[in-house]
Amino acid sequence: MDNLIICPRCESDACYVDEVSKDIKTHFCYGCGFQTNSLMKEEEEFYNQQIEFLPELYKDLIYTDENGLKWMPSAINVADKGMVFANGTSSNNWNWSAVKAVPVTEEEKEKYPIPNKEGEFYEWRMDMTTKSNFSERDFMDALSYIKVIPE
């Protein structure tokens, strides 16, 4: 069962809940860009494994709701559209950054090999010159910037 709820982090009404199985639900808030799932709790091994690989900023931004779920910023990467990610130096100094994807030219393709695929190259790359910053509450604007959702 899928539905929209009020986000416990930002109180937006654009928080999408997806029941993956009887034991696991995912939550994704389009209002604040944070996400969680039923396994994102302090005592869960899944959560502890995720923490090991997160950038420090993402760790600093984790929000714990009243049910003990840990919410963290999303990182969206759509190969032919672009990327949206939390960017900054601390939980007091961050924003959403969005960069657009551009086609890899024939001349530069050697710079973009696909790992473990001999002789294959990426068709798109993220163009950091297109980086635009969006405030914490403007996650949907960042998605619109890279054309993942309509403007």
pTM score of the predicted model: 0.90
Q: Per residue in 12-64, pLDDT tens?
A: 999 999 999 999 999 999 999 999 999 999 999 999 999 999 999 999 999 99
Q: Per residue in 112-148, pLDDT tens?
A: 999 999 999 999 999 999 999 999 999 999 999 999 9
The residue out of 25, 55, 73 marking a domain boundary is 73
86 shares its domain with 65: no
86 shares its domain with 68: no
The C-alpha atoms of residue 74 and residue 140 are separated, in whole angstroms, by 12
47 shares its domain with 88: no
Q: Within a domain: residue 54?
A: yes
14 shares its domain with 35: yes
80 shares its domain with 121: yes
Q: Within a domain: residue 124?
A: yes
Token pair belonging to 57: 């900023």
Q: How many domains does the chain have?
A: 2
The residue out of 18, 53, 73 marking a domain boundary is 73
69 shares its domain with 82: no
Token pair belonging to 13: 């009404």
Residue 138: half-sphere exposure toward Cβ, Cα within 13 Å: 14
